Structure 1
């Protein structure tokens, strides 16, 4: 595996800016106010020919209690222990502060391999800070400007020896979606083609409103306190992805920021956090919509679930904090009724009750995610589809606008991830949405595809006029074909 580099330092010294520079994408949120980053964010970095994992950490604070800042500090210290090497950043324009000296001592006590970086050191303004950095006793400092990309070659020469010690690591990629399959295919599901593996883990995003318990649930899945949690709403700001082996299944799981109603999102930082969460949905194959058992299926929950379905991802609905519910049978019946009534587009999707705090229901959630992923990859042979279509049109014939009945002649599956079907018919533009929903529901029931998004594409199949594309430019040529005199 590749080596791991953790970027640590005081708040607002430019750690997230350097992180984005190394991964080549604006993955971490960046703002002028200090303390934006709270969780540990991993990314696949590229520096010339070096490939490695980089971790962006929360700013180190001189606080050791159980407050939010204290928990952030402990999380950062855990990142130091996880990493093969630490890049300790200081602000070249501010110079060495007492906090920098304290944290330099912490790194020495942990026997960490440390590279000292002086950020914001471009021009003369950073020269004095670079000279002061020698007093920390961490070796020769590297002058950097994460904002402008200066000093990257010097950082490369410091990291190059580690590149010889570790193998190259696979970069994060978007999942394959809307895969085309040959029409008239008679092949059944090829499970080996989409089964999760170490190379291609199952990609899961956990989304929901603030304080629904997303980070607690992810920590339970990982088996460690990897995500920062607490009673405060909105702790998570970045969409954080972590690889793990969950009950024997290789996964990459995203913990996202809570999504409030758009009208309530006024802070610039929160807007960035919500956009980051929506981006995580596009990286996922299965989306877990996490609800709070005390206030389930609020308007924002419905919008979040609908967004995941619109993006064509498999959806699992999980109701968290189930350990707090006393009347469980009555509550479960109420949840199922609300689900069917408020989310008809996800009819049949798994509804699982869990407790991220106690671990209750995690096995059921794991099984539901695997089932949803398998359904998302489902392939149905063309012969079975056309037998089904014949029975469906016989039981409920298509409408006859203007007295001419629409004829559905043929169906075949054209896509997977999610399943997409092409129907060849007469006058496709006149087939009403209600009949399309009838066909979608029939596909779900007959071919066991509950909850997954299903796409139907209508294609016309009228008889072609053999002279439609021919052009007759002169009356004499037209008379030759029609036998009639044409007025000039």
Structure 2
């Protein structure tokens, strides 16, 4: 994206709401409690035919040292520094506050140009604050309502000079009305059926319990302090997506909030963070489950692993802090035993030992991610499947039906990938034992090297729909 816009301002002025409005989806968590956003979040936005990268930031706060707020401020300052233009958002209903004035003075010293935006200007309640904003000395404020989508054309006009300076050329024939704010249903577009596009970024989501090193791993992969890290558990709240390139391949890395046991979640913001993480898993292609080497595959790790498998995502297990493990061989053996007995649905899952802090195992981790993605997208010709099926049935036929009649399995075909999904056509599909279905799934996994990804096998009855088409 040649043109980047950073949204900045004090806490709770509507930055994340405006971000969601511009990207056309509810990506950022929005809540009345100040300070929800901690990391900077990027999204592809479009406004009146102009495409750009928009960055949501943490609220400006004046605190120093090694506090969380100071680390958040560092990320916000980096976002402003890297942007082509910054939008300084104020709450018109609250009026101009001393903190607004302080950070207007701060931004005035920066090299990045600033557009003053007065949010919450719907109705008449925001009028006094809008007029007061002229006193900040940052030019004419742009009145908007991020929640209701008002003032978007005025914002577009304010952005255009900076967009043209950055090299954006507006095609007037492509100008569209700004899309309405989507409802929840608009976010539920399934992408599983789409064929893999070599030019589209591989979506890699990092998940795990709190404080296992997810954000540290993300920074190590990106090669910069892009994600907020620290000893405090629960630093990450939003699922933060960053696009980068690994070995010439586009990757979208998504860092997520830690997942604790449901019974331990009381805070409303944490509930929103967990929902955000679960949605990221649903949209992922490959999920990297990070666990602490000191607590390998505890109950919560297994819960997360099963959730990933249920969603049908490709999986890689990353065991972090491996550099401090006293007996690596014993720990690795224990991990493999736990996976074998407790996670049969992803049998053969790729496991990588890493140290996110010093970069150990990072190259092997990305190799495992790419390999898992390839398996997750694999398609097997129907002729190969049916030759395999004939051999399997001959070696181990299904059990007989009541009365001694033979159970007939007629045909198998792959109906989709992402994850590999198969349809088995047979007589009396409801009477095929679950144990035999598991036997077939394990056989598919071994015969076609589908290790480490969920496999779906549906038993169907009736006439073989492929009989007239050949294998």
Return the TM-score normalized by structure 1: 0.87
**Structure 1 residues 38 and 58, CA, compared in 2 at 3 Å: closer, same or farther?**
same
Tell me what 1:137 maps to: 137
* Aligned with residue 177 of structure 1, among 176, 184, 192: 192
Q: CA deviation at 1:196?
A: 4.0
Offset, 1:321 = 1.5
Using the TM superposition, name which of 370-379 and 383-392 deviates more.
383-392
What corresponds to 2:420 in structure 1? 419
Change (3 A) 1:195 1:25: closer
Do 1:210 and 1:234's aligned partners in 2 also have CA atoms closer than 8 Å?
yes
Deviation for aligned residue 1:59: 0.3
The CA distance in 1 between the partners of 2:169 and 2:54, in whole Å, is: 15
Partner of residue 5, structure 1: 5
Residue in 1 aligned with 2:458?
Answer: 457
Q: 1:92 to 1:337 in 2, by over 3 A?
A: same
**Unpaired runs of 5+ in structure 1?**
180-192, 464-488
Secondary structure of 1:401's aligned partner: coil
For residue 459 of structure 1, report the CA deviation from its aligned partner. 2.3
User: Following superposition of structure 1 onto structure 2, how do residues 94-113 of structure 1 map, counting pairs within 5 Å?
Assistant: 94-113=94-113
1:216 aligns with 2:231: no
- Map 1:31-430 → 2, pairs under 5 A: 31-164=31-164, 165-166=167-168, 176-178=191-193, 194=196, 196-197=198-199, 200-402=200-402, 403-430=404-431
| Gap change, CA 1:408 and 1:103, over 3 Å in 2 | same
**Which position in structure 2 is the counterpart of 1:469?**
none
- Alpha-carbon distance, 1:163 to partner: 4.3
The equivalent residue for 1:474 is: none
Q: For 1:106 and 1:236, locate their aligned partners in 2 and report how far apart those are by CA, in whole Å.
A: 26
Deviation at 1:175, TM superposition (A): 7.3
Highest CA radius of gyration, 1 or 2?
1
Residues 285-333 of structure 1 show CA distances to partners (whole Å, capped at 9, x for unaligned) of 1111111111121222112111211111111111111122121111111
Any conservation in 1 of the 2:41–2:55 contact (CA below 8 Å)? yes
SS of 1:139 mapped into structure 2: coil
Aligned mates of 1:42, 1:462 — CA distance in 2: 50
Mapped partners of 1:174, 1:425: distance in 2 = 32
**Partner-residue secondary structure (3-state), 1:125:** coil
Partners of 1:414 and 1:420 within 8 A in 2: yes
Alignment deviations for residues 356-406 of structure 1 (CA, whole Å, 9 cap, x no partner): 111110111011111101111112222222221122112211011202221
- Larger mean Cα displacement after TM superposition, 376-385 or 204-213: 376-385
In 2, distance between residues paired with 1:112 and 1:133?
20
Q: 1:4-60 CA deviation, whole Å, 9 max, x = no partner?
A: 111101111111111122222221111111101101111222323332221110001
- Cα drift, residue 80 of structure 1: 0.3
Unmatched runs of 5 consecutive residues or more in structure 2: 172-186, 465-471
CA shift in 2, pair 1:176/1:167, >3 Å? farther
Deviates more, 1:232-241 or 1:454-463: 454-463
Match of 1:294, SS state, is helix
- Which residue of structure 2 aligns with residue 435 of structure 1? 436
Distance 1:143 1:75 in 2: 27
- Does structure 2 conserve the Cα–Cα contact (< 8 Å) formed by 1:178 and 1:418? no
Question: How many positions carry a matched residue from both structures?
Answer: 447
Which secondary structure does the structure 2 equivalent of 1:5 belong to?
Answer: strand
* Deviation per residue, 1:93-149 (Å, 9 max, x gap): 333233222212221222111000122233443233222222222111112222333
8 Å CA contact 2:37–2:237 kept in 1: the answer is yes
Q: 106-115 or 218-227: which moved more?
A: 106-115
8 Å Cα contact 2:345/2:455 also seen in 1: no
Q: Specify the alignment match of 1:183 in structure 2.
A: none
Quickly say closer, same or farther: Cα 1:381–1:63, change in 2 above 3 A.
Answer: same
Q: What is the distance in 1 between the residues matched to 2:334 and 2:255?
A: 28
The answer to whether the Cα contact below 8 Å between 1:175 and 1:284 also exists between their aligned partners in 2 is no
> Matched residues in 2 for 1:457 and 1:50: separation?
45
Contact 1:174/1:282, CA 8 A, preserved across alignment: no
Matched position secondary structure for 2:278: helix
CA distance in 1, matches of 2:342, 2:256: 24
Q: 1:462 to 1:150 in 2, by over 3 A?
A: closer
Aligned-partner Cα distance in 1 for 2:134–2:193:
55
**What CA distance in whole angstroms lies between the structure 1 residues aligned with 2:191 and 2:26?**
22
